[in-house]
Structure 1
């Protein structure tokens, strides 16, 4: 009997100990089609894959700061008061492209309008390959297929997410490998790409006038002027460029600063030296689109640079690596330099 009591006591203390050691927890809810990420018991983000009837690609959504504030827009998944309701394909943090063998993966959504003629591509989650919680880092490996308009596989994707967190920061590393299936795959120069986030309203850049933005298909989207109360965003690039001027410029990293519900934040997206097209061009807009696109030099240079038209031969693979850092409070250049150095090794 004493042995049984001792065994039960040991088991009851071991579970909390393991949970304490694994500060960064991954939890797969297959019914809800998502993998939740928590740090010290607080929600951080989730990898969601609801399927093409809801989203045309898997995404990380929502994403929170260490202070618990949303850095990503809620609409169209969970609308919040005062948000913009443009570009329904901008959800959370995602990875895709506007012209892959002539298919538009970027603009595809359940609300795509008649002006967008396609053909469209869809990214479909195919599995959770592995997941590992941990004290300092959690790792999630997932797979997906990039499908053409006939649901034939063009690319097989394997993505590793690494999640980290401290008392004042949250970090996501995304390492995505794409393998061409059957035929060569051409990523024609197109401004709509590649790794991207749609930011919360507070992290947009203040704007006093309506804007019209035209996509690669020539379809115009009106972005109306809104009340700027609480809107505090500002872009700062590694090359010293700021504000809306960062669009179409090359930089090793981009820092979006602002304040959400009283929490000063820096959202830093870092390119990797081994990526194609390094240092990347930035498809970053004041209305909340924060994207890095290394594959469209002719577009971003207004024709001054030669087109890349990156081609991935059949059976071959290419890997893209990006780091997202969300830091609370003052973020000195030294901190960013350390993040860049640690990621670039």
Structure 2
């Protein structure tokens, strides 16, 4: 029997996603649970990754400096959990994530679109927190990835002279712990020339209080020759356009990991995370983007505006720093891959009430894991 010890460290942990990579193999069928010392059960989702397996679960609560031990058990039938499994519904032009009957988000991928994007992204109260194609910037697509200078081609704007991001395949997985989609895409010029391949993963963790955690990764492979992601602020490996009521101009609030407030103190600055919050239908709600420690040029620069845009952009160095002697382009040599990872946290309140700093710590310094018996 596999036994696992989880140590909180110096901070309290609440609804924290846990991932444990092990060598070996597990049965492909059946349900797995972790049973603690008080006989409490936690569902486990198991992934096969090459010659290893990854155990995934959500640690509900662990006080600082405390530890908890679990035994991994295979169940013969589906147990009863406090949370139902997340579901995914696939339509012709979109793939949607559901918690019970409530849609959490939907990935739009119609062939008619210039690029795929997520809309809506719903908050804890079940209402959309993002804005798709606002009249001031119709190319802002709610929650998306794009770049305005890929080998000189513009895939940030939209129109006949701009490039296109085409989805060629979509896969999905669903379960009690998380549900996930994988999109394989080709970035093309306005003339149809292939520029770069992209593999994007969007994972929704099954958080009980509906303050959603979404892991978002994107990997670019230079399959058609060298690729230069140019120096421009019109780019983002992850971008969010918030609802109109959340904009700073309408009473909302931007805050970054250093305590910078609103565009004047956050635009073009580096930070570990950036948060945008504001009122939506009578409730203050927010969205934070958390930058992975191993992303290129971490911590990210932020292209974030009082009118509602929030983008993690490591490319626009010339404009962000106001100088021309340092360039921000990134070159991917033919056959190589460039990758970025982020976590999105959709929460109640502003960054303080939502405990964004604590969620960032959970992301980059999760609880310590050890195998105590096999």
Whether TM-score is above 0.5 comes out as yes
Q: Per the alignment, in what secondary structure is the counterpart of residue 186 of structure 1? A: strand
1:34/1:47 contact within 8 Å kept: yes
TM-score (norm 2): 0.72
**Structure with greater proportional helix content:** 1
Q: Which residue of 1 is the match for residue 131 of structure 2?
A: 73
Out of 51, 55, 58, the position equivalent to 2:116 is: 58
Match of 1:25 in 2: 87
Q: Deviations over 1:66-114 (max 9, x none)?
A: 201110114x4xxxxxxx51111111100011101000110124xx7xx
Distance in 2 between residues matched to 1:177 and 1:309, nearest whole Å: 16
Q: What is the CA-CA distance between 1:121 and the residue it aligns to? A: 1.6
Corresponding residue of 2:253: 234
- CA distance 1:330–1:151, change in 2 (3 Å): closer
Question: What's the counterpart of residue 243 of structure 2?
Answer: 200
- Mapping of 1:4-43 within 5 angstroms? 22-29=84-91, 31=92, 33-43=93-103
TM-score, structure 1 normalization: 0.77
Give every structure 1 segment of 4 or more consecutive aligned residues whose post-TM-superposition deviation is greater than 6 Å.
Answer: 14-21
Other structure's SS at 1:169 match: coil
Give the conservation status (yes or no) of the 8 Å contact 1:22–1:133: no
CA distance in 1, matches of 2:235, 2:102: 31
Q: Write the distance in 2 (CA, Å) between the matches of 1:331 and 1:107.
A: 30
Q: Distance in 2 between matches of 1:152 and 1:276?
A: 27
- Higher strand residue share: 2
Question: Which of 121, 130, 133 does residue 174 from structure 2 map onto?
Answer: 133
Aligned-pair distance for 1:275?
0.9
2:66 counterpart residue number = none
Deviation at 1:330, TM superposition (A): 5.9
Name structure 1 gaps, 5 residues minimum: 1-13, 77-83, 113-117, 207-230
Unaligned 5+ runs, structure 2: 1-75, 366-374
Instruction: State the 1:338 CA deviation.
Output: 3.0
Aligned to 2:226: 184
Answer whether contact 1:277 1:294 (CA < 8 A) is retained.
yes
**Which segment drifts farther, 184-193 or 158-167?**
158-167
SS in 2 for 1:341: helix
Instruction: Quote the residue 2:332 is aligned against.
Output: 312
The answer to whether the 8 A contact 2:143-2:240 is kept is yes
- How many residue pairs get aligned? The number is 287
